[in-house]
Amino acid sequence: MVSPSSHVLAVRSSPALSGILRSVRSWLERYPRVAWSVRAGRAIVHFGPWRHLFRAAIRVTRPRQPGGLTPTASLLAPIDVAEAVGRLREESVYVAGVLPPELLARIRAVTDGLPVDAYTHANDANADVQALVSDSAILSVLRAHFGCEPVLLECTLGIVEPDAKGRDKAGPQRWFHFDFGGWQSLTLFVYLTDVDGSAAPHEVAAGTHQRRGFRDAVRSSITDAEAYRRFGAAIRTITGPAGTMFFEDTEAFHRRAAVGRRRVMLNVLYASHRGLFSHGRPGLSLRRHLTAAAAATTSPR
């Protein structure tokens, strides 16, 4: 177990405020029409032309740390920062390589035995995950893309697999949708199991983060038929061996494809700042789960 470091990426919001916002989110889930109205209002504000003014202001008030564009003492293979930023701006997605085998093995020693769920604050529960999300090579891409010092909004470990009858439990992540966190955000995805076309690969309509009409902004998702009709060959299915890392601007339309076997993926959301709605998604704390599992193992019977 590790405690949050003093690094900027470990800055936490008020626990009381986070609890209130999660309660509000849970309440909104019971009233879909109200939830749609809230999301639509946020999207209209977020995608307005004034967003560029807010982004510029953030770059002034949260400047990059000196020397931040030069990776030092990284755990990862070198990442071409210029290429990464160019691809992200044009295509919304950039595959950044594969985790070193030793680092992957240590993380999988924890994640391979976890049951299906969404585990939050994974970086607070595991020193290797914390080292990964704060790695200098990762930070170099974030700083260059945002033009300011990044903030970690959430670090979630998502595990999906078919049910006992081999069926995929459909949900919102199965539909093409988009996300946004703050005036600028970027997500690092890391596959912790081998992912092929049958293992719920991530799919993204490349470049659609730059084409957001009013009708798209106020909808939470679009059908597969509409996505393939409008975006066609731009839809990319990202597969790869365990350890595959890719950055994505999730303002582009994306989804989780059907799951035919277990997939474990780390979902790390960064932003240019922390806003009112930037307090992470609901889920089970990984540290709490691991603590409870350890207590159950060692308690007398």
CATH code of the domain covering residue 246: 2.60.120.620
* Per-residue pLDDT at 28: 54
Could you tell me if residue 283 is left (phi over 0), alpha (psi between -120 and 50 degrees) or otherwise beta? left
The answer on pLDDT for 215 being more than 90 is no
Convert the pLDDT of each residue in 226-235 to its tens digit: 999 999 899 9
**253 domain residue, yes or no:** yes
Domain range for 266 is 14-298
Strands 117-120 and 284-285: parallel
How many domains are contained in the chain?
Answer: 1
**1 within some domain:** no
Structural domain contains residue 6: no
Q: For the whole model, what pTM was predicted? A: 0.86
User: Does a structural domain hold residue 153?
Assistant: yes
Confirm whether 229 is domain-assigned: yes
**Domain annotation covers residue 9:** no
Q: Which distant-in-sequence residues (6+ apart) come within 8 Å of 133 by Cβ?
A: 9, 123, 152, 155, 188, 268
Determine the Cα–Cα distance for residues 36 and 49; give it in Å rounded to an integer.
22
